Amino acid sequence: MEVIPGQIVTFQALFVDSTNNPVVVPDAAITVFKYSSLGAREDLVAAVAMNPAAPVETGRYTYTWTVPSVLTQGDVLYVEMVGTYLGDPVRVIETVDVVPAAETLMSPGLRVQFVK
């Protein structure tokens, strides 16, 4: 996935059980972070609650965020989405590349993503 500084993006996660059926998690949260040039972790969004998808779909949660304009080409963001199901943590981590608007192959705000 690629994002442009200043762009509004929506991250989403579909939480499923061991049989691949969608499940409700009571605590879906998202953290967005990057590493500085010195290797220090910098949280941009720290464990913020995600919202149920609209229209409602069991197990799917979203978070809409404006990419900070101070990010530059080559920055890599890490998006961690977590929830708890039957006492066990469930998580997914996605990497996101920051690119200038002129280099994206699609219009800002449009993207293709395979989802279940």
- Residue 45 has which token pair? 């969004």
- Residue 1 confidence (pLDDT): 87
55 prior amide bond cis, ω within 30: yes
What is the DSSP pairing of strand 76-85 with strand 88-98? antiparallel
CA 4 to chain centre: 14
pLDDT values of the chain reduced to their tens digit, one per residue, 116 residues: 899 999 999 999 999 988 999 999 999 999 999 999 899 999 999 999 999 999 999 999 999 999 999 999 989 999 999 999 999 998 999 999 999 876 555 555 555 455 55
Joined together, the tokens standing for residue 62 give 């979203």
Structural fold of domain 2-101: Immunoglobulin-like (2.60.40)
User: How many H helices and E strands in the chain?
Assistant: 0, 8
- Whether the CB-CB separation of 106 and 6 falls below 8 Å is answered with no
Q: What is the pLDDT of residue 112?
A: 46
Output the CA–CA distances (angstroms, integers) from residue 76 to 26, 32, 96, 115, in the order listed.
29, 10, 6, 22
Which residue(s) pair with 22 in the sheet? 16
Rounded CA-CA distance 57/44 in Å is 27
